[in-house]
């Protein structure tokens, strides 16, 4: 939707174009993004930390899949499909 590959920049571009997100919701998205990018416990980094001792569980992976799907649906509805607002 924005051409950005960074969540913070993408949300900023969407807000500039379409209107603000609630600050608590935006903060929640930001914190979740930080979580998935942590090398010690984040789900995005080869499914383990540098020592190979942490492997996210099925339940963590499922949570992230469902959460990301909900996030995409929310953003599409809020910023891309005004008829749903």
Taking the CB of residue 10, how many other CB atoms lie within 10 A of it?
Answer: 15
**Nearest to 14, CA basis, from 25, 3, 29:** 3
| Residue 85: per-residue pLDDT | 47
| Residue 20: per-residue pLDDT | 85
Tokens 């949300």, residue located: 11
How far, in Å, CA of 69 to CA of 82, rounded?
19
| Residue 84: per-residue pLDDT | 47
| Residue 48: per-residue pLDDT | 58
Angle 46-25-70 (CA atoms, 0-180°, nearest 5)? Answer: 55
| Residue 8: per-residue pLDDT | 86
| Residue 57: per-residue pLDDT | 81
The backbone torsions φ and ψ at residue 49, rounded to the nearest 5 degrees and listed phi first, read -80, -175
| Residue 17: per-residue pLDDT | 80
pLDDT single digits (tens) 28-79: 988 988 888 777 766 765 555 566 667 778 888 898 889 989 988 988 888 7
């Amino acid at each position: 939707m924005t051409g950005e590959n960074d969540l913070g920049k993408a949300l900023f571009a969407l807000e500039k174009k379409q209107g603000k997100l609630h600050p608590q919701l935006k903060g929640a998205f930001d914190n979740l993004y930080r979580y998935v990018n942590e090398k010690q416990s984040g789900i995005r980094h080869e499914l383990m930390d540098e020592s190979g001792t942490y492997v996210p569980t099925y339940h963590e992976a499922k949570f992230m899949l469902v959460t990301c799907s909900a996030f995409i649906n929310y953003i599409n509805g809020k910023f891309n499909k005004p008829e749903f607002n």
